[in-house]
């Protein structure tokens, strides 16, 4: 059982990644993100998920430095944006991210979306970055099975992580199985459906039964699926609430109840029809 905020998934290259991280999408750069990340680090999160396109790498870097927590005790993820997959920009974009984050390395560098006609070339650049030692692991995001098959076919390094939209209304069991079979760690984005999941009656009923909140039920469901999860909030009470998921366990029957909500429903874009 995953029983503590310190518990980690073991990635396919031996790196440890916390099961619970803090997402910073739609948090403004500057004071807002600095405050939120410092708050999360004080509460005990040790993994932060940002991206070039969020525009807040600078603030994330500042918060990490100001926290006084040694850099090596924090798992930091950022991502290469779609424009930077064109025109051999990936290596330069990585350098720019490091500069904004004011760090020597990231723990995980992800290809943000499988940009058609580009992602295989991008992966070759990612492999170079990994070999340089300045990304301790490399992975992808929003890759479906066919995208992963393309990568596995002609590359040296198997992605360590696939970060995808994942919540009870979008389970993607085949994608999960494929990733598990290839030792690619699945990571959930929008695990709370951007907040919408907490009003779902089935989830509310389970919350009552377990004396937990709806968000905690869904985040625990992530963990029991062996999916890394990175909920976002700027409110300190919710940032804390989202960590109280290590002291209970959902029964298999209740896992099944949540699984049964699956409708293949997305709150974000579909990777096959995204306008890159
Ligand atoms: P989320 O599912 O984490 O939802 C966040 C929202 O849920 C908050 O803004 C708040 O309104 C609400 N919320 C948070 N905690 C709550 C609680 N305890 N009770 C009630 N409501 C609560 O959505 P997200 O921010 O889209 O996803 C999480 C992270 O995933 C992002 O911050 C980002 O780091 C990452 N992400 C990645 C991609 C990608 O393409 N790779 C896309 C979207 C998000």
Q: Tokens 């490399």 label which residue?
A: 138
Predicted pLDDT at 88:
85
pLDDT average, residue stretch 196-214: 98
Question: Does residue 276 sit within a domain?
Answer: no
Residue 79 has pLDDT above 90, yes or no: yes
Angle at 99 between CA 11 and CA 6, to 5 degrees: 35
Question: Does residue 186 sit within a domain?
Answer: yes
Q: How many CB atoms lie within 10 A of CB 53?
A: 17
CATH of the domain at 187: 3.20.20.100
Nearest C-alpha neighbor of 2 from the set 207, 271, 228, 274: 228
Predicted pLDDT at 133:
98
| Ligand 1 touching residue 160 (CB < 6 A) | no
Q: What backbone torsions phi and psi does residue 262 show, to the nearest 5 degrees?
A: -55, 125
pLDDT tens by residue, 124-163:
999 999 999 999 999 999 999 999 999 999 899 999 999 9
Nearest C-alpha neighbor of 48 from the set 130, 103, 124, 128: 103
Predicted pLDDT at 275:
81
pLDDT tens by residue, 250-268:
999 999 999 999 999 999 9
Question: Does residue 268 sit within a domain?
Answer: no
Question: Does residue 270 sit within a domain?
Answer: no
Nearest C-alpha neighbor of 160 from the set 138, 133, 193: 138
Residue 92 has pLDDT above 80, yes or no: yes
What is the torsion angle, in degrees rounded to the nearest 10, for the CA atoms of residue 67, residue 25, residue 225 and residue 213? 80
Of 232, 239, 276, the one to substitute when testing ligand 1's pocket (max ligand atoms within 8 A of C-beta) is 232
Provide the phi-psi class of 187: left if phi over 0, else alpha when psi is between -120 and 50, else beta.
Answer: beta
| Ligand 1 touching residue 47 (CB < 6 A) | no
Q: Is 109 one of the catalytic residues?
A: no
Q: How far is the CA of 109 from the centre of ligand 1 (A)?
A: 19
Question: Does residue 180 sit within a domain?
Answer: yes
| Ligand 1 touching residue 204 (CB < 6 A) | no
Residue 276 has pLDDT above 80, yes or no: no
Could you list the residue range(s) of the whole structural domain that residue 110 is in?
A: 8-259
The residue nearest atom 30 of ligand 1, judged by CA position, is 189
Looking at the CA of residue 231, tell me the nearest atom of ligand 1.
3
Question: Does residue 207 sit within a domain?
Answer: yes
| Ligand 1 touching residue 172 (CB < 6 A) | no
The residue nearest atom 26 of ligand 1, judged by CA position, is 190
| Ligand 1 touching residue 238 (CB < 6 A) | yes
Residue 87 has pLDDT above 80, yes or no: no
> Packing angle between helix 145-153 and helix 119-131, nearest 10 degrees?
60
SS (H, E, C) 61-90: HHHHHHHCCCHHHCEEEEEECHHHHCCCCH
Percent of the chain with pLDDT over 90: 97
Per annotation, catalytic residue among 45, 54, 109, 130: 54
Q: Could you give the number of structural domains in the chain?
A: 1
| Ligand 1 touching residue 52 (CB < 6 A) | no
Question: Does residue 204 sit within a domain?
Answer: yes
Looking at the CA of residue 49, tell me the nearest atom of ligand 1.
34
| Ligand 1 touching residue 161 (CB < 6 A) | no
Nearest C-alpha neighbor of 9 from the set 179, 214, 234, 192: 179
pTM (2 d.p.): 0.98
SS (H, E, C) 105-152: CEEEEEECCCCCCCHHHHHHHHHHHHHCCCEEEEEEECCCHHHHHHHH
Question: Does residue 17 sit within a domain?
Answer: yes
């Amino acid at each position: 059982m995953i029983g503590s905020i310190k518990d980690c998934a073991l990635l396919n290259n031996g790196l440890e990644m916390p099961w619970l991280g803090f997402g910073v999408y739609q948090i403004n750069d500057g004071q807002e993100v600095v405050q939120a990340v410092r708050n999360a680090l004080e509460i005990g999160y040790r993994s932060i998920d940002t991206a070039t396109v969020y525009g807040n790498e600078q603030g994330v870097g500042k918060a990490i430095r100001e926290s006084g927590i040694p850099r090596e005790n924090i798992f930091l993820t950022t991502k290469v944006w779609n424009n930077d997959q064109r025109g051999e920009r990936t290596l330069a974009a990585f350098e720019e991210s490091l500069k904004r984050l004011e760090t020597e390395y990231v723990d995980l560098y992800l290809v943000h979306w499988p940009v058609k006609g580009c992602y295989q070339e991008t992966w070759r650049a990612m492999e170079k970055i990994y070999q340089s030692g300045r990304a301790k692991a490399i992975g992808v995001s929003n890759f479906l099975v066919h995208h992963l098959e393309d990568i596995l076919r002609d590359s040296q390094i198997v992605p360590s992580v696939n970060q995808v939209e994942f919540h009870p209304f979008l389970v993607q069991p085949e994608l999960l199985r494929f990733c598990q079979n290839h030792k690619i760690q699945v990571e959930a984005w929008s695990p709370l459906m951007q907040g919408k999941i907490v009003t779902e009656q089935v989830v509310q009923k389970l919350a009552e039964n377990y004396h937990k909140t709806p968000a905690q039920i869904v985040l625990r469901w992530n963990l029991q699926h062996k999916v890394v999860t990175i909920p976002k909030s700027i409110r300190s009470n919710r940032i804390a609430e989202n960590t109280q998921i290590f002291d209970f366990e959902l029964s298999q029957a209740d896992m099944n109840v949540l699984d049964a909500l699956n409708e293949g429903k997305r709150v974000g874009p579909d990777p096959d029809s995204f306008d890159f």
